[in-house]
Amino acid sequence: MSDIARAFPALAEDSRPATAQRAGPLRSLFPPHVWGAVAGGYVLLAVAVPLLHLAVPESSALHLSSYTVTLAGKMTCYATVALAMDLVWGYTGILSLGHGLFFALGGYAMGMYLMRAIGSDGVYGNPLLPDFMVFLDWKELPWYWRGSEHFAQQAALVVLAPGLLAFVFGWFAFRSRIRGVYFSIITQALTYAFMLLFFRNQTGFGGNNGFTDFKRILGHPLASPATRAALLAASATLLFLAVIAGRFLVGNKIGRVLTAIRDAEDRLRFCGYDPVRFKLFVWTLSAVLCGLAGALYVPQVGIINPSEMSPANSVEIAIWVAVGGRGTLLGPVLGAALVNGAKSFLTMAFPELWLFALGLVFVVVTRWLPDGVVGLLRRKLEEKP
């Protein structure tokens, strides 16, 4: 047996069960019961919820309101961010406190298009300049706003802005072998710096108010029930594809290298692997997923401002992953839904208690549920005779 095989047996063999190895490429990603849950969740979000919103009369008890559809879309976007965070933290051991930045950059890229799509329907009726620029007495668009009226250009920017920032930052950080708490602190500082930058009116991104009062996307009114349903279906599709791609990634050899980086990076390096390339790949991929989620989030909630870059938001993303269960892919999706569902309820019923509840959840998970909710469910199932 080679040195690499002795050091990391998982790298030398396929860790999937024999039945999964014989199955097709898609069927082998999850056990049948998990596939049922994943497919069922996708059908629920992408088909059932839109139909109950569009096809069922408002007088019916089965009708789902616009608020419910928007809330489902918002949570679906958050779930995608949690999954992206799990790839870098749960599988690779990189705790990022800056993923809120990548999410916000994707949102701002889409928000630029939505602001230009308002046209002459804005408060000041200027067909070229967004309302906040007219209010601040700007005479022309900044150079980085040129072409922002084209959806394809901004869709590309949704991917490029967070992706390039993550790549450049990761290149320097990983080559310098910055890791652990030091990496987390630097990502938090980066997020805070960008938040302060975007708060300035001179940057041309709306200052502390950000972008809001959107009217349409691709010519379709955002207030239309059909548009809301389509955005929810798009968010659910993104999450579904992210789950499949993530599972395919971690189930292959590259996934086993990522877990080896998490467990013993120096040992892996001595075996001849270059951790920098693998870390840079998964870090950039995770940032792009966050950017895509942010781009779908903004037209559904109707606003994007620098508060989305708050370090507290990035910490909350880590809590979603911890609650659901690190290194499970589906656990963070569940954690994002549970935490944000509780947040939606408590901020309406007992707004002053939310932060205390969030802190309590973090303490409970850290002390008694180190493997999260998914780990607890797994233990309960194993205890059954």
Q: Higher confidence at residue 174 or residue 355? A: 174
Averaged pLDDT for residues 331-341:
95
Cα distances (angstroms) measured from residue 384 to each of 94, 278, 376, 377, 380: 35, 39, 13, 11, 7
What pTM did the predictor assign?
0.92
Contacts of 58 (CB under 8 A, 6+ apart): none
Residue 188 has pLDDT above 70, yes or no: yes
**Tokens at 5, concatenated:** 């095989």
Token pair recorded at residue 174: 């990983």
Instruction: Please list the residues that pair with 216 across neighbouring strands.
Output: 221
Confidence of residue 21 (pLDDT cuts 50, 70, 90): very low
Residue 22 has a pLDDT of 42
What pLDDT digit, counting tens, does each position of 96-133 carry? Answer: 999 999 999 999 999 999 999 999 999 999 999 999 99
Rounded CA-CA distance 87/80 in Å is 11
- What is the distance between the alpha carbons of residues 77 and 336, in angstroms, rounded to a whole number? 9
What percent of the chain lies above the pLDDT cut of 90? 80
- The predicted pLDDT at position 27 comes to 61
Count the domains in the chain.
1
Share of the chain above pLDDT 70, in %: 92
Q: pLDDT, tens digit, for every residue of 150-163?
A: 999 999 999 999 99
For the segment 329-352, the average pLDDT, to the nearest whole number, is 92
Domain that holds residue 355: 3-383
- Phi then psi for residue 221, to 5 deg, are -60, 130
Q: Which residues pair with 212 in a beta bridge?
A: 303
Distance CA 171, CA 163 (A): 12
Closest CA to 93 of 261, 253, 330, 246: 261
SS3 92: coil
What confidence category does residue 224 fall into, taking pLDDT thresholds of 50, 70 and 90?
Answer: very high
Look over the chain and give the mean of its residue pLDDT values, rounded to a whole number: 91
Concatenating the DSSP letter of every residue in 15-73 gives -S-HHHHHS-TTTTTS-HHHHHHHHHHHHIIIIIHHHHHHTS-TTSTTPPPHHHHHHHH
Show the tokens assigned to 328: 């499970």
Residue 122 burial (C-beta neighbours within 10 Å; 0-12, 13-18, 19+): middle
Question: So what's the pLDDT on residue 13?
Answer: 47
Q: What is the pLDDT of residues 24-46, one digit of tens each?
A: 555 666 788 888 889 999 999 99
What would the pLDDT profile of 250-278 be if each residue is shown by its tens digit?
999 999 999 999 999 999 999 889 999 99
- pLDDT at residue 220 is higher than 80: yes
